[in-house]
Structure 1
Amino acid sequence: MLAQFIGVVLDGIAYASLLFLISVGLSVTMGLMQFANLAHGAFAMAGGYMCVYAMQALGLSYLAALPIAFLFSMVLGVILERLLYRRLYSASHLAQVLFTVGLLYLSMGLAVLLFGPGAQAIHLPPFLQGQIAMFGTQLSVFRAFTIIFVLIVALGLAFVVRWTRFGARIRCSVDNRAAAIGIGIDVDKVMTYAFALGSGLAGVGGALGVQLMGLDPSFPLKYLAYFLLIVVVGGAGSFIGPLFAALVVGVVDTAGRYYAPVLGSFTMYFLMIALLLIFPHGLVGRAR
């Protein structure tokens, strides 16, 4: 019984790792730009489809396809930020929501046109297949790889935010945009770089998620509520908050589906509502 519970928790952590990797970019977008980007999941979907294309059409290995998915989503983010998003930074939240919802459905239609309505599949290399013994239970090698991969990315991201000049500019811009402009920080450039980084992370998260979360044209809409919950509960503009929120969402959702499938996602949403009532500004957020 204990081994079974540990297995569910480990599966939930692997799932949470992917949710965090995709959602952290949205946290930056909402915290730094004050932009309600409901189309953020489209960048994850783009990364997933690019991974599938790189493996099936270009014959690349899975590990080689991951950085390509990152770069593709990052470049796509820069293009869309420069051409479209930037025009709506000063618009109302309603206009931002309507624009990004339209972009969301446009990306879904484009995915159907290019790849068809069905789910995509990839073949993992042999060294990522099979099971390993961990804490008295069995965990798939790919889930263990996902957890380690996201942990390395999270540590690298924490280092960039805490110890580099770019990270200091992001923190300053999130804390007080007017003050950042006043001391000579090019906030517009910081916003572009942050948007590109968040889009790239979402893309590699989508590539990793092909195996665990599935990939079809409905992906950005299917997981939209999850991404928003993680950012809102964790605190927009924070990196640590979304990590904690993703762990809660991933473990609780996995445990709920395993132990009480009849309830569906009720357990997870109920907990999220409770956390929002207790922490109205997010787990690590601050009143604005």
Structure 2
Amino acid sequence: MGIVIFDGVAYGMLLFLIGVGLSITMGLMNFVNLAHGTFAMVGGYAASVLMSRAGLGFFPALAAAFVAAALVGAVLEFLFYRRLYRAHPLDQVLLSIGIVFVSIAAFTWAFGPSMQPFTLPAVLQGQVSLAGLQVGRYRLFMIVAGALVLAALLLALGKTRYGAMVRAAVDNQRVAGGTGIHVQRLFFLTFTLGCGLAGLGGALSLGMLGLEPSFPLKYLVYFLIVVCVGGAGTITGPFVAALLVGIVDVAGKYYLPEAGAFLIYVFMIAMLLLRPHGIVPRKGLS
């Protein structure tokens, strides 16, 4: 049971890393962005290509994945997203799902439909003893990485001027603009940050989920569950939701493999009935 919980927490941390950016952008911009998984795929492919073809190390590749996804996100925000911030949600859905299908076709054409090659660095291979359990080093690394990102986000949003501006914009965009905050620029920076975090999660998913062109569509429902159950516009909400989703999914596949992913949807429905506004309802970004 202990190893199942550990693996579930590691999986949940991965979902959190990818999904937290979607929570921030949805909470701040009220934009229904179904293409968030595309930025995770960009980061994953960037890391894979740099490691397999350019000989870059794993840890520098993680940084490159963040930068690549952030850059792609910045370009798409400037060209497309900002034009639809005040549009009908259906227009936002059509744009973002269109980006998903275009990205799937483009990556299939460029890299083929198969899984991307990936080899763990020696330091993250094998297992280590933790509280009497033999746990994978890579999964332990993902848990540590997720915890560090959570701490960094909470610190940045709670203790910096940028965080104060983001919280103000989340609470009331019009008032924030009236106080001199450049809301459009804030949207741009926040969207770019969210895409970069998705890219980091996509690179880390190489060692757990694998990466293929269908990735943005295959895991879209998981990212949406994390945000909807946790509470859009918060940090701790998606974190708690991601851990719960990860544990439920791993435990379900271990103990009830015949149920498949069905338990995740049962969990989602139950949580939304109990907490329709999310585990952590939005009262500012926290």
Report the TM range for the smaller structure's normalisation: over 0.9
The equivalent of 2:249 in structure 1 is: 253
Residues 6, 135 of structure 1: 8 Å contact kept: no
Q: In structure 1, what is the Cα distance between the partners aligned to 2:239 and 2:252? A: 20
Q: In structure 2, what is the Cα distance between the partners aligned to 1:255 and 1:179? A: 46
Residues 194-251 of structure 1, C-alpha deviations (whole Å, 9 max, x = no match): 0000000000100000110110011000110000011111111100100000011001
Is the counterpart of residue 224 in structure 1 residue 233 in structure 2?
A: no
Q: Secondary structure at the match of 1:132?
A: strand
Q: What TM-score do the two structures reach when normalised by structure 2?
A: 0.97
The equivalent of 2:82 in structure 1 is: 86
Q: Structure 1, unaligned stretches of length 5 or more?
A: none
The equivalent of 1:263 in structure 2 is: 259
Structure-to-structure mapping, 1:63-78, within 5 angstroms = 63-78=59-74
The equivalent of 2:203 in structure 1 is: 207
- Choose which of 110, 115, 121 in structure 2 pairs with 1:114: 110
Residues 173, 180 of structure 1: 8 Å contact kept: yes
1:183 shift after superposition: 1.1
The equivalent of 1:96 in structure 2 is: 92
Residues 23, 230 of structure 1: 8 Å contact kept: yes
Aligned residues: 284
Is the counterpart of residue 144 in structure 1 residue 140 in structure 2?
A: yes
Q: In structure 2, what is the Cα distance between the partners aligned to 1:21 and 1:15? A: 10
Q: In structure 1, what is the Cα distance between the partners aligned to 2:110 and 2:153? A: 33
1:187 shift after superposition: 0.8
Q: Secondary structure at the match of 2:233?
A: coil
Structure-to-structure mapping, 1:267-278, within 5 angstroms = 267-278=263-274
Q: Secondary structure at the match of 1:35?
A: coil
1:286 shift after superposition: 4.1
Q: In structure 2, what is the Cα distance between the partners aligned to 1:123 and 1:265? A: 28
1:121 shift after superposition: 2.3
Q: Secondary structure at the match of 1:172?
A: helix
Q: In structure 2, what is the Cα distance between the partners aligned to 1:135 and 1:266? A: 32
1:269 shift after superposition: 1.2
Is the counterpart of residue 157 in structure 1 residue 153 in structure 2?
A: yes
Q: In structure 1, what is the Cα distance between the partners aligned to 2:164 and 2:283? A: 21
- Choose which of 104, 108, 120 in structure 2 pairs with 1:124: 120
Sequence identity percentage? 50
Q: In structure 2, what is the Cα distance between the partners aligned to 1:260 and 1:287? A: 37
- Choose which of 6, 9, 23 in structure 1 pairs with 2:5: 9
Q: Secondary structure at the match of 1:159?
A: helix
1:287 shift after superposition: 8.9
Residues 44, 220 of structure 1: 8 Å contact kept: yes
Residues 121, 211 of structure 1: 8 Å contact kept: no
The equivalent of 1:37 in structure 2 is: 33
Q: Secondary structure at the match of 2:279?
A: coil
Residues 118, 206 of structure 2: 8 Å contact kept: yes
The equivalent of 2:43 in structure 1 is: 47
1:56 shift after superposition: 1.2
Residues 62, 203 of structure 2: 8 Å contact kept: yes
Residues 276, 282 of structure 1: 8 Å contact kept: yes
Q: In structure 1, what is the Cα distance between the partners aligned to 2:191 and 2:158? A: 18
Q: Is the deviation greater in 277-286 or in 243-252?
A: 277-286
Residues 21-44 of structure 1, C-alpha deviations (whole Å, 9 max, x = no match): 000010011111100000000000
Q: Structure 2, unaligned stretches of length 5 or more?
A: none
- Choose which of 156, 159, 167 in structure 2 pairs with 1:171: 167
Residues 234, 244 of structure 1: 8 Å contact kept: yes
1:185 shift after superposition: 0.8
Residues 233, 282 of structure 2: 8 Å contact kept: no
Q: What TM-score do the two structures reach when normalised by structure 1?
A: 0.97
Residues 127, 135 of structure 2: 8 Å contact kept: yes
1:137 shift after superposition: 1.8
Structure-to-structure mapping, 1:186-205, within 5 angstroms = 186-205=182-201
Is the counterpart of residue 235 in structure 1 residue 258 in structure 2?
A: no
Q: Is the deviation greater in 27-36 or in 135-144?
A: 135-144
